[in-house]
Structure 1
Amino acid sequence: MKKLYLVLLLLLFSICSFAQSRYISVTTKKIVYARDGGACRCCGSSLNLEYDHITPFSCGGGNDVSNIQLLCQKCNRSKSNSCTCKIHNRIVGVNCCDRSVSRNRSSASTSRKSTSTSSQCTGTTKKGARCRNRTSSTNGRCYLH
């Protein structure tokens, strides 16, 4: 009986671990590639393409087709955990701090002004690293901590 509980516990744990994975399925990749025309959504390059989360994975963004886009390596690296490609100064994602989609440059500058009072979360991740989220709460921690 204990073995059965152990097996069920391990099965449940493995399902939960897989659900929180950054893994993007082959089907999702094919759909996104066709939708984006095989080019970077920021600069239009077709070299060194990567699959990027529109809402960052660290902010709870999923791996479904509506949250994945194609970006070239330069644009993806400059975007990092933000919503702006710093090379081309274009909005290519969702602002992780206030969870709003910025559509134009004026709203991007407004978003930057509103987040200037926020600070980096003082919490730590499961791996022991410092949390990269920003927060404006009085306790200094983001919604995950």
Structure 2
Amino acid sequence: MLGPDFQLFSLDDIGYQSEIPENHKTLEDNATEKARCIYMKYKIDTFADDTGLEIGVLNGEPGVFSARYAGKEKNSNANMDKVLKKLHGVRNRNAQFRTVISLIYRGKEILFEGIVKGNILERKHGNSGFGYDPIFQ
């Protein structure tokens, strides 16, 4: 798809073993920080992302804090339970998953955004997928 001039490498492929902190207040800043970290260390074109679940009636929560919404340990079930508790009895359950990709290509930084709109279910359905999938439709 990209042609012969492009090769994709994972962090494992390039020997990067550390975790890049996600301590910013926006998806854009987290994605940019991750891309810059790899670009500065390896001097290679890089892309990185950050994704969050944004619930309208909760003013965009959990948003950038989606992975740690219920605590530092990144527990998907606890995160979903917290969302369901906050939305108990709420009719407007509009939500969206938003992903921001930061691309550094030939030294130029470009941001891309993708959004999937949906609703938060009243209870968990199934256990496949990851993160908030069992409560998002």
TM-score range, shorter chain: under 0.3
Structure (1 or 2) with the larger CA radius of gyration = 1
Taking CA–CA contacts closer than 8 Å with sequence separation of 6 or more, which of the two structures ends up with the larger relative contact order?
2
Structure with bigger strand share is 2
Q: TM-score, normalised by structure 1?
A: 0.22
